Copies of this chain bind each other. A is one copy, B any other.
């Protein structure tokens, strides 16, 4: 057996502690699979050494302590961008391999880091940066390597999916579902990053770059979160045969890559519509294989550690890739060119003629109507009587529907803002543009 792979670990939070545990508990099988021992030699963490056994590894509060000849690979688990970037750049410059779980880092400067790693001829593993324990990077890089990948769609933010599931299954409103997620540790005190879609957009950018062999462009992703989804929308969607999910979608188009993150009505017949709670799921469409779906825990200490250590095993074996240059720099199209059905909730004042006006505007924009729900509402005294008109449209281009919705909003018979949620027909979408 060759000499051990010597690991320097930065960060001893939940994931870091889980990596340490896994390296100890599965030491024997990891050595067998990696062809040599994987040995934790140094741990660095800026806080004082927490109550985590680190075996014979040395500990230091200085991250620079990993910049040393007895470390073959630096595992970056400190998160954030500034210090993490410096740590990774230093490791690469020192000729050390890197394994990271840091999506924000890769979304921010992944292209630069990949390029530096390529020049230094070191591997850069990032399985843990997307979809936690699901080996999706591995599937895209290896298992599906025979395919020209056409599209991917996924639930990549467990917090948002947990909240939407609670809203759908328990009828909770967004605020309560969020509070529950926070209580259970599934959402941060400041949940912006998750519920506004930023986290999902970063992950989508990483997956898209990998799937379409292009650069990472997180800024080019169209981003909407779930904070405007009303529990009433979820009920109406269900009545129409859909579940509302927060999706990240990336698709090859003729002139670039469509990339978008937003709430979406997904047909209940799709497996993706059934993925509940903090579980993540990524659906991939390739020209040969067709569609595959990969689901599992999207976060958490041990699932993320599973991905980090999988990269270490590959590295020990000598099969973790040095990043190749992106084949092409495909422009990010965001939402441009997206054509899909829409769910509209129009708060109409209950007076004659409003529906006719709504229908007229849609018709003038050549938006045809697939389904309508309008019911008598109980009227509370002192309030103006109004009814939500729910419309499911046929396929319509983004700019068309936007203009139509703006016109609808100006109608005297419409009071309040119009909800608009895109419908995603995965089977049609996966067949390519």
Contacts and interface: CB of A to CB of B under 8 A. Distances in A.
Contacts of A375: none
Interface residues of A, number: 54
A139 B142 CA distance: 9
A296 interface: yes
Contacts of A312: 146
A148 to B, nearest CB: 6
A94 interface: no
Interface stretch (A254-262, A282-290, A331-339, A395-403): A282-290
Interface string A266-287: 0000010011000000000011
A223 B294 CA distance: 27
Interface in A125-146: 127, 133-135, 138-139, 142-146
B26 A143 contact: no
B295 A271 contact: yes
A18 interface: yes
A314 B134 CA distance: 20
B306 A144 contact: yes
A293 to B, nearest CB: 5
Nearest to A136: B143
Nearest to A127: B143
Interface stretch (A29-37, A343-351, A381-389): A29-37
Contact of A146 (B134, B286, B313, B327): B313
Interface stretch (A234-242, A297-305, A357-365): A297-305
Contacts of A275: 271
A314 B32 contact: no
Given A134-B292, A291-B296, A145 B271 contact: no
Contacts of A288: 18, 22, 26, 133, 302-303, 305-306, 309
Given A18-B288, A26-B288, A290-B303, 5 more contacts: A29-B213, A133-B288, A135-B139, A293-B295, A293-B296
Contacts of A290: 133, 296-297, 300, 302-303
Nearest to A327: B32
Interface string A309-337: 11011100101000010010000000000
Contacts of A297: 289-292
A147 interface: yes
A127, A145, A309, A317 interface centre (most CB from chain B within 10 Å): A145
Question: Could you say how many copies of this chain the assembly holds?
Answer: 2
Contacts of A213: 29, 32
B314 A289 contact: no
A317 B292 CA distance: 24
28 contacts: A18-B288, A26-B287, A29-B327, A30-B145, A32-B324, A32-B327, A33-B145, A34-B145, A127-B143, A133-B289, A133-B290, A133-B292, A135-B143, A138-B138, A146-B309, A146-B310, A146-B313, A274-B274, A289-B302, A289-B303, A289-B306, A290-B296, A290-B302, A292-B294, A292-B296, A293-B293, A317-B319, A319-B319
B296 A289 contact: yes
Given A139-B138, A295-B271, A297-B290, A310 B145 contact: yes
Contacts of A324: 32
Nearest to A26: B148
Given A133-B288, A133-B289, A295-B271, A310 B143 contact: yes
Contact of A138 (B143, B148, B306): B143
Contacts of A300: 290
Contacts of A33: 145
A314 B145 contact: yes
Contacts of A302: 287-290
